[in-house]
């Protein structure tokens, strides 16, 4: 994870808010599941998620199939 993400997370916490910066290889299904568990674990739910994946497909992420994600990771 980049230093900038950690720094911003610290700034958020300094404002009295909760923040948990995480990173992972989203091309791996196990990593996706682990990230969700890590993100929701301390707080019970995810309120804000910033997904910084480098791909373009004009559709809501929930409409992507596994095949769509696999093609994008090549």
Residue 62: DSSP 8-state: G
Mean pLDDT, range 13-35, rounded to an integer: 87
Q: What SS3 class is residue 51?
A: coil
> pTM of whole model > 0.85?
no
State the pLDDT confidence band at 58, using cuts at 50, 70 and 90.
Answer: confident
Residue 68 confidence (pLDDT) above 80: no
Domain boundaries defined on the chain = 3-68
Residue 44 confidence (pLDDT) above 80: yes
Whether the CB-CB separation of 57 and 72 falls below 8 Å is answered with: yes
Mean pLDDT, range 35-45, rounded to an integer: 85
Residue 11 confidence (pLDDT) above 90: yes
Whether the CB-CB separation of 57 and 68 falls below 8 Å is answered with: yes
Q: Which of 73, 61, 60 is nearest to 29 (CA)?
A: 73
Instruction: Give the CA-trace dihedral at 51, 28, 22, 55, to 10 degrees.
Output: -20
């Amino acid at each position: 994870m980049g230093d900038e993400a950690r720094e911003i997370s610290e700034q958020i916490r300094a404002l009295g808010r909760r923040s948990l910066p995480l990173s992972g290889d989203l091309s791996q299904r196990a990593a996706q599941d682990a990230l969700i568990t890590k993100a929701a674990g301390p707080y019970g739910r995810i309120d804000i998620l910033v997904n910084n994946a480098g791909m373009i497909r004009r559709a809501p992420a929930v409409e992507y199939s596994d095949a769509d994600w696999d093609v994008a990771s090549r």
